[in-house]
Amino acid sequence: MNAPARPEPFSLRRRNPNGGTAPLANWGFRNETDRLTDVLLGSPAHLRHLSPSSLSRKHLREAPCNIQVAQAQHKELVAAYEHFGVKVHMHEPAPELPMQVYARDSSVMTPYGAFITAMANWWRRGENYAAIRTYEQLGIPIYDMVTAGTFEGGDFNVIEEGCVLIGCGGARTQEEGARQVQDWFDKEGWETRLAFIDEYYVHIDLMVVPVAPKLTAVCLACTEPGIVDWLKGKGHEIIDVPFQDTMALGCNFMSLGGDRVIAPTSLSRRGGDGGQRAPAAAGLPAGLSGRRQRARGRGGAQPRRPARGAADATLSGGGCSARHAG
User: Is residue 209 within 8 Å of 251, Cβ to Cβ?
Assistant: yes
The domain locations on the chain are: 28-298+307-324
Sheet of 279-282: strand order equals 254-257, 260-264, 279-282
Determine whether domain 28-298+307-324 maps to CATH 3.75.10.10.
Answer: yes
- CA end-to-end distance (rounded Å), the chain: 13
pTM score? 0.81
Q: What is the chain's pLDDT, residue by residue, as a tens digit (326 residues)?
A: 344 567 789 999 999 999 999 999 999 899 999 999 999 999 999 988 776 666 667 777 777 778 888 899 899 999 999 999 999 999 999 999 999 999 999 999 999 999 999 999 999 999 999 999 999 999 999 999 999 999 999 999 999 999 999 999 878 999 999 999 999 999 999 999 999 988 777 898 888 999 999 999 999 998 999 999 999 999 999 999 998 888 777 788 899 998 899 887 755 544 333 333 444 444 444 334 333 322 222 222 223 433 333 333 223 334 555 443 33
Show the CA angle centred on residue 199, arms to residues 193 and 203, nearest 5°. 55
